[in-house]
A = this chain, B = another copy of it.
Amino acid sequence: MEPEKILNISVDCVVFGYDINTKSLNVLLINRFLESEDKKEVLVNDYVLTGYHVYKNETLDDTATRVLKELTGLTNQYKKQFKAFGDPDRLMNPKDIIWIKNEAFHLRTTTIAYYFLLKTEDVNLKNNKNKAKWFPVNNLPEVGFDHEQIILEAYEDLKVKCLSKPIIFKLLPDKFTINDVQDLYESILGIEIDNRNFRRKLINKKYIIALDEKQVGVSKKPAQLYMFSKDIYDKMFQKNYLISI
């Protein structure tokens, strides 16, 4: 039996997945589809974030973890609660109202929004019951509820955080090349970075460790592989205190 739900509080998850092959930062969305009773008319056909009500005896973090697991099967991914959305009319577009009539939740639901960082390749979307699909964060489809705003605010938070915290490595495989990291920064921030300066900067970090390995299976000169050492990073006193207003 399903645990008892808190009907007016939900958790919505912005699942960011980086596709290292297409160099695209994607968001995982599920299809919201409803036909009229006679099946002649499509009433709702758009995409939304995954989310679910909070159970009465679980923490908000637990809810987020559970939602991600049900969608992707994954656990232990980087997770961040970034904002609560609770406007009284946040689910009040005509399509939302039609949709909610069919579902069992409050029109005035407050949602605690999380985002996750993972690798697109880690998610298997075959036999996925939610019709989940990846969309480039810069090229979203029609998005229902207020979820486009939620995605954009998550993305903003990610853009700012990736400049000062090593969360970028959550989006990359354990072994990566310097150019992988640069491509990812360029993709997230929408900027171009000088390869020589970037390379020097990264290689000089003690927590970026050159492995005894090179890429395999590439058709050109294989690149040196590196890893990120969280241990070393944590041990280095993160002297953040440069006032830079």
Contact = CB atoms under 8 A, between A and B. Distances in A.
A78 to B, nearest CB: 14
Contact of A56 (B88, B164, B191): B88
Given A8-B6, A9-B9, A9-B86, A108 B56 contact: yes
Contacts of A219: none
A243 B205 CA distance: 13
Contact of A84 (B112, B163, B201, B243): B112
Q: Is the interface of A mostly helix, strand, loop or mixed?
A: loop
A205 B243 CA distance: 13
A244 B9 contact: no
A159 to B, nearest CB: 9
Interface string A1-21: 000001011000000000000
Interface stretch (A44-52, A57-65, A118-126, A136-144): A57-65
A189 interface: yes
B245 A163 contact: yes
A8 B109 CA distance: 11
A198 B166 CA distance: 29
A6 B241 contact: no
Interface string A212-245: 0000000000000000000000000000111111
A84 B162 CA distance: 22
Given A57-B88, A59-B87, A88-B58, A164 B8 contact: no
A54 interface: yes
B163 A86 contact: no
Interface in A82-122: 83-84, 86-88, 108, 110, 112
Nearest to A56: B108
